[in-house]
A and B are shown apart, each in its own frame.
Chain A
């Protein structure tokens, strides 16, 4: 049976993990390569490295970080953050990424999705959508897409953009609820379900994870195919394996033993 995926996310700035999962006995808690390997060993089904380096100069370190991280990883590895062209994507793949995630650049020019997909396969292109519930009209159907790290509204509806991204050849959708992100109060299951039902491709839910129950909810009610979390493991859940054992007890199919 196809299992639901638990994806560990590392936010990286200038080659260092700035938030995310910390292990008490790790030598260097800021090293992406070391943290990624630890997550994989503790049962993460995939690793996402999100580069939040603000400056252009800092971008140069990304390729080196990706290469070092990929070297020790034998589970799928996605890299996102600031990829704007097919050439930039190619460099990230060459360094060892299996998938790339694009956000603002895909909104600006949706053809980019197909361009990267034609060289590396549709399965390698994740379109990330940062969305906020609408305050007027239907909060879910009219939920709006934001870009530039959530700072800039686009006027686009999230559900429609997900469908369009799929038609351009996206392999998966990574949906982050800006309302839920950082709250630890649970994923936005309604928004996730709306997007998941609108497309045929897998949807990864992100934003709001606080406990194992939240994952169960987003898999059941949100119809998510995968769920991503960064900082949840600070707050009571020891590691991915412990989370998966709890999900297994809840009847959610997960990869165990892992």
Chain B
């Protein structure tokens, strides 16, 4: 079972639809849930989300943060999308009082001034080789973004996008993965990425 964590941030219809399309022939069960017990049973976890970083407080308040942390440390593949990627970092200046998971110690911050924010639209990905998430996806492929805050480029960045500054479009370290863009809205590229995630072995080397 694949758990899609519902923390009441935006509309998850598109995410569920795309996952079902990407994994149509894999015989997977997808559950939209805010229940830590369901997350505990999951073979993979997806944390989608649009909106404000403060919405991730829901995870802590409902016992989801500790459950996800435990699952990640035991090797369960995890994919954060948009705010779900930012949550993997220590936090965001968008909501300084809210802690992220801190799988990566850096902070997310607002785009530097002097350009239109939010960053909305299709932008290209500079993909580092050997990423499992991007297997079969060409360097320079386009993905759909919509966000005002971004994660810095770090050692575990596997795709970089430029919006008058470089930022992390995707991170990957062992079983911990995140994408700033919306694979569910990124056409064939996005479906391929979701497919790659769904096809990962059930338990991979834990990276925490």
Chain A residues packing against B (C-beta within 8 Å) = 1-5, 40, 45, 70-71, 74-77, 93-98, 119-124, 171-172, 200-202, 225-226, 255, 258
A70 to B123, CA, bound (A): 22
Closest Cβ of chain A: how far from B111's Cβ, in Å? Answer: 11
Chain A residues, Cβ within 8 Å of B119: 2
Task: From B23-31, B39-47, B183-191, give the one contacting chain A.
Answer: B183-191
A-B contact count (CB 8 A): 93
Asked whether A3 lies within 8 Å of B11 as measured between CB atoms, the reply is no
Asked whether B9 lies within 8 Å of A3 as measured between CB atoms, the reply is no
Residues A121 and B123 in contact in the complex (CB < 8 Å), given A74-B191, A200-B116: no
Asked whether B17 lies within 8 Å of A225 as measured between CB atoms, the reply is no
Asked whether B162 lies within 8 Å of A202 as measured between CB atoms, the reply is no
A258 to B189, CA, bound (A): 10
A76 to B187, CA, bound (A): 9
Asked whether A70 lies within 8 Å of B10 as measured between CB atoms, the reply is no
What secondary structure prevails in chain B residues at the interface with A? mixed
A103 to B199, CA, bound (A): 43
User: Does B136 have its Cβ within 8 Å of any Cβ on chain A?
Assistant: no
Asked whether B122 lies within 8 Å of A71 as measured between CB atoms, the reply is no
Asked whether B50 lies within 8 Å of A124 as measured between CB atoms, the reply is yes
A207 to B188, CA, bound (A): 30
Asked whether A2 lies within 8 Å of B163 as measured between CB atoms, the reply is yes
Kindly report which residue of chain A lies nearest to residue B116, judged by CB atoms. A200
User: Does B144 have its Cβ within 8 Å of any Cβ on chain A?
Assistant: yes
Asked whether B122 lies within 8 Å of A121 as measured between CB atoms, the reply is no
- Choose one: B9, B13, B146; the contact of A93 (CB below 8 Å): B13
Asked whether B116 lies within 8 Å of A121 as measured between CB atoms, the reply is no
Chain B residues, Cβ within 8 Å of A74: 18, 21, 184-188, 190-191
